[in-house]
Every structure is written in structure tokens, then in C-alpha cells.
Structure 1
Amino acid sequence: MKTVAGIDLGTQSMKVVLYDYEAKKTVESSSFPLELISGADGSREQKAEWYRAALESCFLKLSAEGKSSIQSIGVSGQQHGFVPLDSQGNPLYNIKLWNDTSTAEECRLIADSVGGQEAAAAEVQNFILPGFTAPKILWLKRHQPQLFEKLRYIMLPHDYLNFLLTGNYVMEQGDSSGTALFSSKEKKWSEKLCAAVDPELIKKLPPVIAPDEPAGFVSREAAGWLGIPEGAVVSSGGGDNMMSAIGTGTVKNGVLAMSMGTSGTLYGFSSTSISDPAAGISGFCASSGGYLPLLCTMNCTVASEEIRGLLNLGVKEFDAEAEKADPCAGGVFVLPFFNGERTPNLPHGKASITGLTAQNCSRSNIARAALESAVYAMKTGLDSFRKHGFTPSELRLTGGGAKSALWRQITADIMNLPVRIPVLQEAAAFGAALQALWCLSKLQKNPVSMESLAEIHVEMDSSKTARPDEKRVQEYNRAFSEYQSLVEHLAPLYR
């Protein structure tokens, strides 16, 4: 048996899958939960030590036979997190995550120093937003100057795992383009944006490798404490959205995918650079070559989980309760800004339930509204994608929300597209494994395209396809207009 390992470092857990690429099946998997440090100021943080412990635990749960079969490893990681290390590779501070909104002031300072948000977008194809890495680095400089003086290594979460596995300090183009320091068009660090954070910053950033290049090879030390083969190839890896794109087969022009995890993302592959920050579309590189324009909201399953906890319901009970309500939830809306929001840019946003009357105030309407709210933001993104020439015939859905039959149908009706689900649900981990296979094939002098690999290995589950209902589509179009109006009127309160 020969396998490739895919590691997915998410916000809530780490997962590892072993994929037998000759038999085309997952043979083993493991996971480990991660905690979250939340602050009233919008901070969301984790510790680097937790990542090392999770990595060790995940591999300990795999069989010796499975681990010995590993030929190559790929790492997927939550995007934008800032892992600051000293010259010895020791963590200097907590990891500020993608959903940390405590850096709004740093965003303003960076944008002002380069001539405004439009000028920043011209440099790095993105506005300077709290989700990105650049303001997190400036936050450390402003709030922990003594630690900043010791800063030597600047990593993203997936880079840190690559560092633990190989000892090498590199980044790849996809995750780098989510730092707001890297030009996805020119595929290099922006001297102007780096200098806006610190004059010496660009000297501390790592070299950026192409997505089909190896980040390195499993070191003797990593092989010893993880029980995996020394010298196994470690591919470049990438951000979780980039890896999910591979895992869903979103590796050719015009294919759109949507991830319903803690955050919600809508993304599509493009052979040319596409960026529209004013419409919420980030101009990222793909980790399969090409580009991955992406819209991200910071509150997807967060909304359903918070409302589910409020109603004291289990996951299946929550779906059953929501299913009792009619489409559009009787006019009830949830504005799901529990973590602030990135699209629209409302770092100080607050969640609310609105539209309640004596007639529609029910658990079922509130539950359904929570599910619908996460998809409304995605619909805004879909309209923007179409303006840039995307004409999708289907939407490939992944993430925890994709497991809900009701949520899949709501998505199909609101987006007015058939929704298809990959057979292998852990899209980020599976995508990382496929990227590892892509890299391995190239090193073995048998190069293949990522598109051909996806055609061979990415299978859709036809039994879970959801198709839009014309009557519900029209109802949701009207409700969506009302949702947009609510956001427009409330947004000034949160800017």
C-alpha cells in the first residue's frame, strides 16, 4: 500500500487522512480538537504549542502500517493567522487568527500609509482588512514592541506545520496572497506594503515557492516524534480554501465551490488574475497553479451554532426544527455578525434577529433564518463572480454545513444552482493529499496536471445533489432584497 497524507489545520480541529492513491480510497483518518481564546475586543487566538500537540496526537492515532506507507504529505491550514517565532523557532506570542477583528486601527494605519485602500488593492489585489495577516504583524509591533524586536520568523499556520515537519522556512503563493503583503499578479512580496508595517519586514519574510514545489522533506527529528518515514516529500501545502478547491475539483476555469465552515467562502478557479475588493472578492493565487478569486464571510456555521445553543437543540434537532418553517422563515432574518464581519467590512459588527412579530416569533423560524442568513452573503458574492465572467452550471459544496440536507436545499434555492457534494467530505485534507501526490509525481519524473488528477480522484455523491425549486427561488429573491436592505441600514452602526 502506498499513501499520501493530507493534514488540515482548521479553527476547531486538526485532521489527518491517509489516501491510498492506487486504490483511490481513504484508508485511515484521525482528528484532534483545538481550543479558541476569545476576547471582548474581538481578538481570536490560539497557541503554537497546541498545533504541535495536535499533530503528534493525530499521527499517534494512525496505525504503524498506515504511517509507514506515507510517500508524501500535504498541509492545509486556516488562512491569514500570524505565527510569530524567534530566531530559535520558539513562539513569541499567541497566534492571531483569521477571525480576529481587534486590528481595525492597524488596518487604517497601513492603508493610510500607502495612500488608501484603493492604492493598497492596486499593490496586493486586496483591501487591508482585519482578517489578513499584515495588520496582525503591525499589532504585535504596536502592542508588544519588546517581542516584536525578537521576531525572526513570520509564518502562517500551514507554514508552521511545514516548518515542524521539515525545518525549512518557506511559503507558497496561495497562502502568501492572503497576507495583504504579497502581489498575486506579480507573485512577489510588495515592498510598499511591507514597509508600511515595518522597514525591515521584507527581510524577515520567507522565500515563496511555486505550488508544485516541495516545501522540503520529513526531517529525522520529525520522523522520530511522529513515527513517519524520514525523507518523505512535504509539498508546498496552502491555505484551507486553496486545498478545498483542489479537494472539490475546483481546478479549472469557471468551476465554483462554496465552503460552509466556521467561515463561509465562495471561490472559483481562474487562469487569469481576478480581484474586486469593493465587492468582497479577494485576488488570491491558487495552490494548484492559476488564481483563486474568493469571497469570505466570517460567520457561517458560527451563526447556526450560536442560535442552536440559544435554543438548546442538538444538531439533528436543530435541522428538524428549521425544517418546520417555510422558506424565508416567515419574514424573520438573522444578521449573523457574531465575529464582526469581513464581507461586508464590519469589524465591529454585532449579530441580531430581526423581523419578529407576534405571528412569526417561533423557534422554527429563528432556526431556519440562521441557516438562510449564511447563504445570503454568498449570493452577493455569486452576483459579483458573474460580473467577472463566471457562468457556473453548478456549485460544489463542502464544510460542516454541507452535511445538512436542509442546508444544501436552502443553498440551491437561494443561489439558484444545483448543489453537488464530493464523496470525500474532508475537502481540505483530501486536497492537501492530492497536492502531495501532484508534487510527488513531478519529483518522480512523471508529472501530471492538477486538472487530470482531480478528474481521476475527485468524485461527486449523486445521492446528495440538491436542485433549485423555481417557486422557492422567486421567494428567496424577494427575501434577499430585504436582507440587503437590512444590512445597508444597520451597517453604519458597526463601522
Structure 2
Amino acid sequence: MAFAAGIDAGTQSLKVVVYDPAARALVATASEPLDLASGEDGSREQQPADWVAAMHACFDRIDPAVRARIATLAVSGQQHGFVPLDAAGEVLAPAKLWCDTSTSAECSRIMDAVGGVASTIALAGNPILTGYTASKLPWTKTHRPDAYARLASILLPHDYLNFVLTGQRFCEHGDASGTGWLDVRTRTWSAELLEATDPERDLGTCLPPIAAPDALFDIDPAAAARLGLPATVQVAVGGGDNMMAAIGTGCVEEGRLAMSLGTSGTLFAYSDTPVVDPTGAWAAFCSSTGGWLPLVCTMNCTLATEQVAKAFGLGVRDADAHLQATPPGADGLVMLPFLNGERTPDLPLGKGVLAGLDTTNLSPAHVFRAAMEGATYSLKYGYDAFVRAGMRFERIVLTGGGSNSAAWRQLVADVFGLPVDVPAQSEGAAFGAALQALWAWGRARGDDTSIAGIARAHVAVDPALSATPDASRSAAYAAAYRRFLQYLDAVTPLQRG
């Protein structure tokens, strides 16, 4: 039986999984760390060549006999990145990433050019938020004029890896909807926003064609040889990491709610129709499966807990012990964990705040709990917008590094008042990419199973990792969440300057 592989190029590492659909099991996994270049202006950049080197390193560590059985693969990639290429396909500059806040002024200028935030949402379904791809183009024009002058193609991170694998430039609706240029209602590029971004050139000529969700491409023979893969491998379109995580958690049918606790935090739900908020309370993205994926993103999730652990010399793996040593609500200590700016709430220039300090809660364990609670409350803030819009959910499916913590799983259940499930396959985005590839590969061979059918067959939860809300703790967290909102209201005018 053929295997399917999933590649996930994240912020901190690149991962590869190989899935055996007959055995319903992963037969290989590999991971390689990635460096992140940070600047005082908020810039966050990586070298696309490092993604390629990490991909090569991961496949090199997989048994050649396993690689020989891979028939199809797909790439998941961090959203919103900006990879500029020249006409020959050479990278012109480091890739600016989703967490790059140096282009916040450019966001406002683009939206002002079309009449403001409301007009931008009317045109495309989303405002152009800090970190979105669109703002990185005018920044490049100003700060890297040589790269701008030679610019021929704009690719997203996962698009670039697809280009390396196939030699072809293409994108797909899910990841493209995170650029700020795609009208998510019609699934077409917005000519008005492209012109507003750069009135001096036709940016449409720089954007790759949009491929169908079930499209397949032949792997480039040289790429196949370098990775030790059969020359017959078919490359599916893949997508943004959130879109692939939606597949990997089974969030491909209405009524499902998934949460990812990674460097950033995300909360997303599948819809058969566009779900646009006129105020931009959430991201109205397309899915990578033909539907839509309303999504809440926070910039600071495990990033916040890891920074606190580093500052106090705590072991992140001891997170559960830190939580058990302190009560819900951290004895009144509140953290607004906006260490990297913030998207939900929309405070791109925001800074972290630690409030409510007294003689009883000034301890490393309390600060660690406050960071974990603050990251969770930021997601609850976005969830409340979903609920106000009439969305209803019965369970949360949890993925990402934070889902490995039993204490954090319980915290989510208690704060949201919903049961929490964790998929048996922990690498949700990489696994989702493998399932998308399996779905597209099967369709090309006459299998009409829907992507929902694929997810139902292959996405399983681990009962040992489930959590249910505890009423007594839920009440304590509700009070702590109200304090979080009070502090947020108080500091927001300061954070917005």
C-alpha cells in the first residue's frame, strides 16, 4: 500500500511525517530546527534556503525503504510569509514572516487607500492586519529597493517549497486568503487592493495561479532524487498551517471547533459558506478543502510560556507542576502576554503587561501560570466573538505543542466550559497535509471519498488525553477572565498610542 507524506514548515522547526493509510499509523517522523532572525523594529525573518535544507535533512533521516513507498505528499507552511523571487526563480531577500510587526504602518496605508478598514473588509472579507503578506510588499519597496526592482513572483512559504518540489509556481485558496489580497467571497484576487498596495505596477502578474483543492503536480525529477523519493510522486497543493491543521484535527465539517496551541494560538471552525465579520473580529479565511475557515489568531501562545520559563530558569516540560503549585486565577496575577505584538485583540504594537502583583503571587510559578492563563484568555476573547455571531460548538479539538500538557488541556476545558479532545496524531498540520495528499491522490484514481470522509476514517482522538470541565475551577477562571478583560480595557489606549 502506498504511503502519504506531510511536510510542515513552521516558525521553529520543519517536520515530516509519513503515513500508512492501511495501517492507520505513522511509519516515520523527523524534525529539524529553524533559526529566526529578529530585529528591534519588530522584523522576524527566515532564509527560505533554510527550509529547503531542513526538508532535505528530515528526509535523509527517514528509512529509504519507507521513502520508496511514498506515492504522494503535501506541504503545510506558516501563513502570511513573503518570499520574493526574480524571473529565474531565485530568492531576492529573506522571507518576512507572519510574526513580523515591522510593517504595521504599511497595513494602515493600504487600507486608507481604499477608504479604511470597513471598505477593505467589504472588498476582500478581511482587514489587512499586521503580519499579513500585503503589507510586506510596500515595506520591501522602501527598504529593499533592489529586491523590489527585480521582483517577478510573490510566493508564500508553502508555495515556495512547492516550487522547489515541482518547479511550478502555484498557490491555493486557503493560504492565499491570508495575504490580504484575496476576496474570500469570490475566491479571486482583489484588483482594488492590489492597486492600493502598489499603484505603480500590476501586482497581479507577480501572483501565482490558484490551484484547485484536489490538484496534483508531478514532482521535479531532481527534487525526487535529492529526497530519495520515487520519480512518480504526486505533490498535492497543501496549504497554510492552520488549514492543514484543520484537516489533521477533523475540522472539515460544520460544528467542529479546533484550537492550536503553538508559538501562536489559533481557533478555527469549518463553514460551507463565507463567514465574514463586518468589524473584522476574526479572519474570514478560505479552507484548503473548498470551504471556509473562520479563524482567530493570537501572536503569543507557547511563545509566552517559553519566554517566562527561560526568564526564570524553569523547565517548560515541568509546566504541569507549575500549574499544580498555584490556584486558578494565579492569586490575582494577570498577564497580557503581548510579547510579540498582538492580533487578537488587534494591538500590533502591544507589549506584555503583568498586573496584580502582591506579596503572595510574586513567584516564578505564579508568573508561569499567568502566562498560560493569559494566552488562553486571548483565545477566549476571540471565541466570544464566534459565540456572539451565533456559532455554537459542543467540543474543542486541541493540537499544537501546548496540547502535550495535561494541565493546559484541563485549563482550556475549564476556561471554555467545553470538553477537550486531542487527536492521536499530535502533529496536526503535517498529518493534515498527508491526509490532503491522500485525498487528492485517491480522487485522481477514481475514489470519490470526500475530505470529510477521509478525516472521519483517519483522524482519531486519544481518550487518555481528553479533559472535561470542572465546575469549581470554571467559576474561578470566569472571575479571572473578567479581570483579564478589565486590564485589557484599561491598557488598550496606551497600547494603541
TM-score w.r.t. length of structure 1: 0.98
- Alpha-carbon distance, 1:141 to partner: 1.2
Compare 275-284 and 133-142 and name the one that shifted more: 275-284
SS in 2 for 1:327: coil
SS in 2 for 1:396: strand
Structure 2: distance between partners of 1:336 and 1:157: 27
**1:447 corresponds to:** 448
SS in 1 for 2:15: strand
**1:3 corresponds to:** 3
Alignment of 1:72-111 (within 5 A): 72-111=72-111
Compare 358-367 and 96-105 and name the one that shifted more: 358-367
Query: Structure 1's 279 and 206: CA in aligned 2 closer, same or farther, altered over 3 A?
Result: closer
- Alpha-carbon distance, 1:267 to partner: 0.2
Structure 1: distance between partners of 2:386 and 2:160: 32
SS in 1 for 2:437: helix
For structure 1, the residue ranges without an aligned partner over 5 or more in a row are: none
C-alpha contact 1:164 1:222 (8 A) present in aligned 2: yes
- Alpha-carbon distance, 1:364 to partner: 2.0
After superposition, give the CA deviation of every residue in 1:108-154 in whole Å (9 maximum; x if it has no partner).
11011111011111111111111210001111112212210101111
**1:431 corresponds to:** 432
- Alpha-carbon distance, 1:439 to partner: 0.5
Structure 2: distance between partners of 1:231 and 1:473: 53
C-alpha contact 2:32 2:58 (8 A) present in aligned 1: yes
Choose from 185, 194, 207 the match for 1:205: 207
**1:327 corresponds to:** 328
Alignment of 1:53-72 (within 5 A): 53-72=53-72
The one-letter code of the counterpart of 1:123 is L
- Alpha-carbon distance, 1:380 to partner: 1.4
C-alpha contact 1:127 1:277 (8 A) present in aligned 2: no
- Alpha-carbon distance, 1:158 to partner: 0.5
Alignment of 1:207-356 (within 5 A): 207-214=209-216, 216-276=217-277, 278=279, 280-356=281-357
Structure 2: distance between partners of 1:410 and 1:278: 29
**1:141 corresponds to:** 141
C-alpha contact 1:158 1:238 (8 A) present in aligned 2: yes
C-alpha contact 2:79 2:175 (8 A) present in aligned 1: yes
**1:50 corresponds to:** 50
SS in 1 for 2:132: coil
Aligned-pair identity in percent equals: 47
Compare 181-190 and 198-207 and name the one that shifted more: 198-207
Structure 2: distance between partners of 1:279 and 1:257: 20
Q: How many residues align?
A: 494
Structure 2: distance between partners of 1:430 and 1:317: 27
Compare 363-372 and 46-55 and name the one that shifted more: 363-372
**1:171 corresponds to:** 171
- Alpha-carbon distance, 1:231 to partner: 2.9
C-alpha contact 2:270 2:292 (8 A) present in aligned 1: yes
Structure 1: distance between partners of 2:147 and 2:463: 53
Alignment root-mean-square deviation, CA: 1.1
C-alpha contact 1:79 1:178 (8 A) present in aligned 2: yes
Structure 2: distance between partners of 1:118 and 1:277: 7
SS in 1 for 2:329: helix
After superposition, give the CA deviation of every residue in 1:246-269 in whole Å (9 maximum; x if it has no partner).
000001001000000000000000
Structure 2: distance between partners of 1:463 and 1:322: 20
C-alpha contact 1:254 1:268 (8 A) present in aligned 2: yes
SS in 2 for 1:278: coil
- Alpha-carbon distance, 1:200 to partner: 1.3
Structure 1: distance between partners of 2:370 and 2:42: 25
The one-letter code of the counterpart of 2:346 is N
Structure 2: distance between partners of 1:129 and 1:264: 16
C-alpha contact 1:338 1:351 (8 A) present in aligned 2: yes
After superposition, give the CA deviation of every residue in 1:363-397 in whole Å (9 maximum; x if it has no partner).
22111111111110111121211223321110000
Compare 202-211 and 456-465 and name the one that shifted more: 202-211
The one-letter code of the counterpart of 1:19 is Y
Structure 1: distance between partners of 2:257 and 2:408: 18
After superposition, give the CA deviation of every residue in 1:184-218 in whole Å (9 maximum; x if it has no partner).
1101000001111123101111111121112x111
SS in 1 for 2:351: coil
- Alpha-carbon distance, 1:279 to partner: 5.3
* Pairing 1:494–2:495 present: yes
- Alpha-carbon distance, 1:462 to partner: 0.7
**1:363 corresponds to:** 364
**1:395 corresponds to:** 396
The one-letter code of the counterpart of 2:210 is V
**2:462 corresponds to:** 461
Structure 1: distance between partners of 2:73 and 2:319: 37
- Alpha-carbon distance, 1:224 to partner: 1.8
- Alpha-carbon distance, 1:62 to partner: 0.8
SS in 2 for 1:160: helix
C-alpha contact 1:376 1:480 (8 A) present in aligned 2: yes
**1:123 corresponds to:** 123
The one-letter code of the counterpart of 2:204 is I
**1:485 corresponds to:** 486
C-alpha contact 1:81 1:95 (8 A) present in aligned 2: yes
**1:184 corresponds to:** 184
After superposition, give the CA deviation of every residue in 1:155-198 in whole Å (9 maximum; x if it has no partner).
00100110000011110000000000001110100000111112
Compare 166-175 and 442-451 and name the one that shifted more: 442-451
Compare 453-462 and 374-383 and name the one that shifted more: 374-383
The one-letter code of the counterpart of 1:88 is A
After superposition, give the CA deviation of every residue in 1:419-458 in whole Å (9 maximum; x if it has no partner).
1000000000000000000100111121210111111000
C-alpha contact 1:280 1:296 (8 A) present in aligned 2: no
The one-letter code of the counterpart of 1:446 is D
**2:151 corresponds to:** 151
TM-score w.r.t. length of structure 2: 0.98
Structure 2: distance between partners of 1:77 and 1:219: 20
SS in 1 for 2:478: helix
- Alpha-carbon distance, 1:296 to partner: 0.2
Query: Structure 1's 373 and 277: CA in aligned 2 closer, same or farther, altered over 3 A?
Result: farther
